[in-house]
Structure 1
Amino acid sequence: MHLVRNPKDPEVSVRVADEGFAPYVWCNDFSFEVRAYARADRHKKVEHWPLDLITPYRKCYGIDPDEFASYRGGKDSDIFMAYLDNQPVGHVVVSTNWNGYAHVDELAVVVSARRHGVAKSLLDVVRFWSHKKNLPGIMLETQNNNLGACRLYERCGYQVGGIDHLRYRGIDPQTSEVAIFWYLIFENTNS
């Protein structure tokens, strides 16, 4: 059987990062638009979180590939890159956290490649990596101003395990940015 692909739905592939990781990071835009700060509630779905609307602005975390140089091919860490039709468009950095969970240290998708399943494909690889290492689950952190990421994690089965209102106050004592810790707990580490 031959599959016919829709040109609006390019093929996503994921592989272990190679020496092209740093140039790819330096040459791409991973920013996103912030329009609101959500009042996260671990007992409600993201769509029901109250929003404090703000004047929109672009947020960029300033990704530094050198920060993760030792993660590539490590015993307890790795970096994976996603490609759309052989063009690098996303990456995930994963390690084994002190508590035994896989920890997504960074997940980013190039602005122009969003809404094509790239982030979900990267999370699927993290899940496979975690199962292969017999870890009990995956954890990651995002913020209450990155609602697209929050919705993605919820759709992928993650649950809010904690909300930290003080994490970013050292950077800006007046910030409304709140850290949200998401977990995907595996029912059975052998599945």
Structure 2
Amino acid sequence: MHLVMTPKDPEVSVRLADEGFAPYIWGNDFSFEVRAYARVDRHKKVEQWPLDMITPYRKCYGIDPDEFASYRGAPDSAIFMAYLDNQPVGHVVVSTNWNGYAHVDELAVAAPARRHGVARSLLDVVRFWSHKKNLPGIVLETQNNNLGACRLYERCGYQVGGVDYLRYRGIDPQTAEVAIFWYLLFESRD
């Protein structure tokens, strides 16, 4: 499936994932271009983080719909899909983490559908889901090479709660990729 976005302001809708989840995953490109690795400073805005520029390359995390099969219909997890003009273009997988926070296990938007409010709509649904479950906030992880995601989370009110410099060293001992944990803390659970 090749999605062509033509409307200037297409309508975004979000609903629980259905049997169309796997075909949607297999039929879309979720890769992004990496141009730099940021040196995270939790006391500064993302735009102020120093960058180590690199030769650009495409990054794809290899999304497997079967990995989250048990999440559908479970009481402490959910998969939501986003649609632009009734075409599936994004998803979020959320669960209740061991520490009581909602944990975004995966958030992805198909490449042609980016910059249309899809990711923000999915994060809004996670926030609603978390409030309904009376959770204290949301935690998610991204990497220092996914600056678009970092800027989005910052704009949505998330703050850096931690940086793990060793998380990806098991995959590549020489990697400059580090994990950034973002938190959205709710003021009250009442």
Q: Mark yes or no: TM-score above 0.5.
A: yes
Q: How does 1:25-44 map to 2 (within 5 A)?
A: 25-44=25-44
Partner-residue secondary structure (3-state), 1:35: strand
Partner-residue secondary structure (3-state), 1:154: helix
Letter of the aligned partner of 2:30 in structure 1? F
Q: How does 1:126-137 map to 2 (within 5 A)?
A: 126-137=126-137
CA distance in 1, matches of 2:7, 2:51: 36
The answer for the alignment partner of 1:54 in structure 2 is 54
Q: How big is the shift at 1:189?
A: 1.6
Deviations 1:121-164 (CA, angstroms, capped at 9, x unpaired) = 00000000000000000000000000000000000000000000
The answer for the alignment partner of 1:14 in structure 2 is 14
Q: How does 1:18-167 map to 2 (within 5 A)?
A: 18-167=18-167
Deviations 1:83-113 (CA, angstroms, capped at 9, x unpaired) = 0000000000000000000000000000000
CA distance in 1, matches of 2:14, 2:73: 15
CA distance in 2, matches of 1:145, 1:73: 33
Instruction: Tell me the TM-score normalised to structure 1 length.
Output: 0.96
Structure 2: where are the runs of 5+ without partners?
1-5
Q: How big is the shift at 1:7?
A: 3.0
Runs of 4+ off more than 4 Å: none
- Identity within the alignment, %: 88
Partner-residue secondary structure (3-state), 1:120: helix
CA distance in 2, matches of 1:68, 1:60: 18
Q: How big is the shift at 1:62?
A: 0.4
Letter of the aligned partner of 1:119 in structure 2? A
Instruction: Tell me the TM-score normalised to structure 2 length.
Output: 0.96
CA distance in 1, matches of 2:171, 2:30: 21
Count of residue pairs brought into register by the alignment: 185
CA distance in 1, matches of 2:131, 2:189: 6
CA-based RMSD: 0.9
